[in-house]
Chain A
């Protein structure tokens, strides 16, 4: 059981990544695909955060002299995740606006029926 409790964040994040990929591969509705994309994004963000996480860690601020540097979490992944979340939101908003326009044109969101472009 110690394996699971030690690596629970990695297991969780990669489960989310694979769930997202599974949704993207198997679903044909554009809204569901966007949801899958978002789950994938969340999994990646969780993975990045868990890289720098320490149990019972503190913020890396050197204002109090009695804090132990060993217990400080790595701030770099948190900065990365902050950026990645913003990018994810931008993609989500753009994707949803595309979905609205696509529905206006085709009256459906099923990607199997939207086949104007082909090889």
Chain B
């Protein structure tokens, strides 16, 4: 019997066996993350059609549900698992050549643990188990940010650690309050008994939970750590943090609000926070001179857009939000990966130092351009259907307010276009008289870039089939009765 627990157990097992493989040969250890993530990718793709028919629930430890710790592999969780495995796989190929200095063995261990934590968060159906996996994700990402050990890395990692731990303490208080009121930690049994407790008593735990998850998701008042951490980490880690870690926070918020508490009257608050996040992120990104810092702030803006789509609260909105998830995961990892070797070659993160790099590194520059255009939402790429779906979802909701809100959200897209076009202009059209011998990134960097470009183009053109899968995921999030039945049996 192939159980979804393997998606968590295999990377975890591989990560701690890396030192063992390292004693055999120093050359093997860097291939272990690639093998583990490839297994996860293939296995989760194999499970996906089965899960869309009927979600798989597995109880760990041999107890029956609501007493045991459950894993619930529905369409939503599995789509996230696929996305995590895909980005993890692509980035691990990139790391084969990119990670050369420092404690490389520890880097690979921590990298796999981070992916384990992220996969665990999206598959679990137990609220404390969620916390534990979330902490695994957070602690490994603190350590990975500090992995280079330079001034900037250590400083931003300690700031990230302080803010992240306050957030997770809030989450633990929320778990305590929920356990005190319901006497259970199973998400489905909490959802089942939600009417036995008055909504005022639920308000405090929900807000504490959103705060705790919001630190990792970097929604507006809690996003101070993100630009520091994403810009001072190595490019592979930035790609994983931007592509996966912040999305896990959003997944947690969505799961709490929709599946567990069904708190649809909090959605307006969510939309307001989302709009603030979009504006703060995009305006700060516009004023940056450091390219990685610009990409990091742009992540904040994109997260705001995802949250906005979720805040619409209809099934259209959630499908659009999930599509934007895929768009951001693929495009932002492509952007970080393509800038990785540009920074390595030029030795600087300033945007002005990228002058004339379009001739020196044509493939990386093309990849950067594609990622940027996709994030802005230009047609042949994946960004176009995703932004189109968000606008359609907002317009399908009646009322003048939603039109005003989508206008503000689209203002963010205009600013986004402005700063990305500026970088593209610097890459291609400035400083052409400098020496222009080609110095392209190595093959280990080009393979992941090609995979991501093909996916961005492919899903952008054939978006219909992906939307069908996402529709079943949004149905899982909105249909609480099915979720309760699915977990408790």
Interface residues of A (CB under 8 A from B): 17, 21, 24, 30, 33-34, 37, 40-41, 44, 47-48, 51, 76-77, 80, 83-84, 87, 90-91, 94-95, 98-99, 101-102, 105-106, 111, 114, 116-117, 119
Please state if B161 and A40 are interface contacts (CB–CB under 8 Å): no
- Chain B interface, number of residues (Cβ within 8 angstroms): 35
Interface residues of B (CB under 8 A from A): 128, 132, 135, 139, 142-143, 146, 149-152, 154-159, 161-162, 165-166, 168-169, 172-173, 175-176, 179-180, 185, 227-228, 231-232, 284
Q: Which of A87, A94, A119 contacts B284 (CB 8 A)?
A: A119
- Could you show 20 A-B contacts with beta carbons less than 8 Å apart? A21-B166, A40-B166, A48-B175, A77-B176, A84-B172, A91-B165, A94-B143, A94-B161, A95-B158, A95-B162, A95-B165, A98-B154, A98-B158, A98-B161, A102-B158, A105-B155, A111-B159, A116-B155, A117-B232, A119-B284
Q: Which of B154, B156, B284 contacts A101 (CB 8 A)?
A: B154
Q: Which residue of A lies closest to B139 (CB)?
A: A90
> Chain A contacts of B175 at CB under 8 A?
48, 80
- The 5 A-B residue pairs with the shortest CB-CB distance in the complex, in nearest-first order: A117-B228, A98-B158, A105-B151, A101-B154, A48-B176
CA distance A93 to B118 in the complex (A): 22
User: Given contacts A17-B173, A117-B155, is CB(A76)–CB(B179) below 8 Å?
Assistant: yes
User: Given contacts A33-B162, A77-B179, A94-B161, is CB(A117)–CB(B169) below 8 Å?
Assistant: no
Please state if A91 and B158 are interface contacts (CB–CB under 8 Å): no
CA distance A118 to B151 in the complex (A): 13
Please state if B154 and A37 are interface contacts (CB–CB under 8 Å): no
> Chain B contacts of A51 at CB under 8 A?
176, 179-180
CA distance A30 to B162 in the complex (A): 9
Q: Which residue of B lies closest to A90 (CB)?
A: B139
CA distance A103 to B488 in the complex (A): 52
Q: Which residue of B lies closest to A47 (CB)?
A: B176
> Chain B contacts of A84 at CB under 8 A?
172
Please state if B166 and A102 are interface contacts (CB–CB under 8 Å): no
Please state if A87 and B135 are interface contacts (CB–CB under 8 Å): yes
> Chain B contacts of A90 at CB under 8 A?
139
Please state if B152 and A98 are interface contacts (CB–CB under 8 Å): no
CA distance A33 to B161 in the complex (A): 11
The smallest beta-carbon distance between A84 and chain B, in angstroms, is 6
Q: Which of A41, A98, A111 contacts B169 (CB 8 A)?
A: A41
> Chain B contacts of A111 at CB under 8 A?
159
Please state if B128 and A80 are interface contacts (CB–CB under 8 Å): yes
Q: Which of A24, A48, A98, A114 contacts B166 (CB 8 A)?
A: A24
The smallest beta-carbon distance between A47 and chain B, in angstroms, is 5
Please state if A40 and B154 are interface contacts (CB–CB under 8 Å): no
> Chain B contacts of A76 at CB under 8 A?
179, 185
Please state if B146 and A117 are interface contacts (CB–CB under 8 Å): no
> Chain B contacts of A101 at CB under 8 A?
146, 149, 154
CA distance A111 to B163 in the complex (A): 14
CA distance A87 to B133 in the complex (A): 11
Which of B146, B158, B162, B175 has most chain A Cβ within 10 Å?
B158
Which of A33, A47, A106, A119 has most chain B Cβ within 10 Å?
A119
CA distance A21 to B173 in the complex (A): 13
Q: Which residue of A lies closest to B179 (CB)?
A: A51
Please state if B132 and A87 are interface contacts (CB–CB under 8 Å): yes
Q: Which residue of A lies closest to B151 (CB)?
A: A105
